[in-house]
Amino acid sequence: QVQLVESGGGLVQAGGSLKLSCSASGHTFGPYKMGWFRQAPGKEREFVAAVSWSGGYTTYGDSVKGRFTLSRDKIKNTSYLEMNSLKPEDTAVYYCAGDFRGTDIQFSRPTTYDYWGQGTQVTVSS
């Protein structure tokens, strides 16, 4: 059974950095793409970033462009979300998601991902 496990969340001051990791297990070939989403209390789930597993193409949500960088290690089946210049409005639970079906290439659409991690809390203090 496929499992996604996030790690690396925590509390950081505004302007600081954090690096989240998402490790996938239980699937022979890895995902077609892996995405990160976040959800703050009272707000809708927001697309953060995604990466195509074979080619490494990345795309980002407008609110994080230029501050966040997503990469992946195909050998370890792990993606890394490096978050710099963090702002209080980045505070949320961050979820990674894996698309193991490959039937829809829409990176920012949550319904194209079939497995999700449990989430990791990121809190940015002002």
Q: How far apart, in whole angstroms, are the C-alpha atoms of residue 23 and residue 61? A: 21
Q: Evaluate if residue 35 carries a pLDDT over 90.
A: yes
Residue 81, φ and ψ in degrees, nearest 5: -110, 105
3-state SS class at 89: helix
Q: How far apart, in whole angstroms, are the C-alpha atoms of residue 55 and residue 113? A: 18
Q: How far apart, in whole angstroms, are the C-alpha atoms of residue 48 and residue 39? A: 10
**pLDDT interval class at 32 (50, 70, 90):** very high
**pLDDT interval class at 3 (50, 70, 90):** very high
3-state SS class at 111: helix
Q: Using alpha carbons, select from 81, 83, 72 the residue that is nearest to residue 31.
A: 72
pLDDT digits (tens, 9 = 90+) for 86-117: 999 999 999 999 999 988 889 999 999 999 99
pLDDT digits (tens, 9 = 90+) for 8-17: 999 999 999 9
What is the model's pLDDT at position 105? 84
Average pLDDT, rounded, for the chain: 96
What is the model's pLDDT at position 49? 98
Which residues lie across from 60 on neighbouring strands?
49
3-state SS class at 124: strand
